[in-house]
Structure 1
Amino acid sequence: MTLADQTAATPAPGQPAQRGRRADAERNRAAIIEAAGVVFAEQGGTVDVREIARRSGVGMGTLYRHFPTKDDLLATVLGQEFSSWLTDAHRQATAIEDPWQALTGFFEQMLAKQGRNRALVESYAAAGGPTESCARHCYAVMDELRLRCLNAGLLRPDVTTADLVLLSTTLSQTVLATVDSQPGQWRRLLRISLDGLRSHNTEPLPGPATHADPSRND
């Protein structure tokens, strides 16, 4: 082996230690996110981050190096969870041949998911999702499901996607209000609400139609 080969094969001073620090940092970040997901689901977004640090096994300084504020941590954890759920729910809805079953199944999945995660239902009831990107994605999925039902003649024609989003937000408030006292009570209100969306209801809806789209900034 030449001197040049020996030099190339020898790691620069500090490289192993740097790689070790990066690996430790990645493990700490993953532990924080995992613990936060459990704690936020159990206790909601108002939980003290010291509980998250305790469960993840890291110090407060380490937690704050990765997530300077609790809002940063909450958005990261819920954004990942919501996006993963929404992608799966959309895939399942697309695979269902009957448009009405696809729409109702999507609502049921959404509210059931929120019923198991206090912080997630808080974020959806307040803003339609944990992040703007999540809200836009959810709106697009609901719009697709609405159009399927409308084209099949199953949905009353004056229902807009914004109506469906508002309905889901209202039902999320029901989930939030009854999650401890009457878990699952939202299923009754969901059935009543969805029956009102069917095309056999021909009496015009009151008030002007709403067409708010979170993907637009105007």
Structure 2
Amino acid sequence: MSPPSRTLRADAARNRDLLLAAAEAEFAERGPDASVADIARRAGVGKGTVFRHFATKDDLIAAIVRVHVDALDAVGRRLLDAADPAAGLLEFLTAAGGQREQRDLSFLLNADDAGPEVVALRERLYGTVCQLVDRAREAGAVRADVTGHDVVLLMCAPNHVVSFLKDPPPDLWRRYLAIIFDGLRPEGAHPLAPPAPEL
């Protein structure tokens, strides 16, 4: 059997990209209950095309999560070598906030029933965050009682706060990120209670 033509491969790649974009939009609007039929309709393809690319809905979710986690984790790993660990952590949190401003799909990453691939992606990203926080803490730029898990939970906070406004100004989430980051600093810090959670 001859290999598929370049045109067929290009069509398949285009359909996959359309499906991922449609799925992101559908999940952002409808949450985790978005159906494969609605995703296919938004992409302008049949359900069969969806399942040719992604055997299950979980596979489709994992593909979406992988795109976002890979991009954010690459930023974090690059910043592990930052000369200023505090500036590196702030740059990472800013990148995370910008990604969520575009489309908040964190519920796919953090779902209790996430599939094994999503869990592995989540653990990889959280490990990078913890390393960034450890470096900043060791440099004295982050208070001693703040953990990487604290910062993982705070990553969603700036955009979550802004979501309560009907029509927030662009980049308002940056204001709340600045407040959060100041709260991570050791200057004027008071002891935290209760202890940080384990994720």
Give the TM-score, by structure 2 length: 0.78
Partners of 1:172 and 1:71 in 2: CA distance:
26
**Equivalent pairs, count:** 191
In structure 2, the partner of 1:161 is 148
State whether structure 2 residue 52 is matched by structure 1 residue 65: yes
- The answer (yes or no) to whether the contact 1:115–1:121 under 8 Å persists in 2 is no
AA partner of residue 99 (structure 1): P
Of the structure 1 ranges 141-150 and 79-88, higher mean CA displacement relative to structure 2 is found in 79-88
Determine the C-alpha separation between the residues in 1 that align with 2:58 and 2:164: 25
Secondary structure of 2:184's match? coil
Match of 2:27 in 1: 44
Could you tell me which residue of structure 2 aligns to residue 98 of structure 1? 84
Partner of 2:94: 108
Contact 1:178–1:185, Cα closer than 8 Å, also in 2: no
The 5 Å alignment of 1:1-218 reads 15-16=1-2, 19-20=3-4, 24=8, 26-27=9-10, 29-45=12-28, 46=30, 47-50=34-37, 52-53=39-40, 58-91=45-78, 93-118=79-104, 120-124=105-109, 126=111, 131-171=118-158, 173-174=160-161, 177=163, 181-182=167-168, 183-210=170-197, 212-213=198-199
Whether contact under 8 Å (1:156, 1:197) holds in the other structure is: yes
TM-score (norm 1): 0.72
User: Residue deviations 1:101-127, cap 9 Å, x none?
Assistant: 111110010110111124x34424656
In structure 2, the gaps of 5 or more residues are: none
Aligned residues: percent identity? 29
Q: 1:123 to 1:146 in 2, by over 3 A?
A: same
DSSP-derived class of the 2:167 partner? coil
> Which whole-Å deviations, capped at 9, do the CAs of 1:9-48 have from their partners, x for residues lacking one?
xxxxxx22xx238984x54542333113322444435355
Alpha-carbon distance between aligned partners in 2 of 1:48 and 1:159, rounded to the nearest angstrom: 40
Displacement after TM superposition at 1:160 (Å): 1.2
Do the aligned residues in 1 keep the contact of 2:89 with 2:132 (CA within 8 Å)? yes
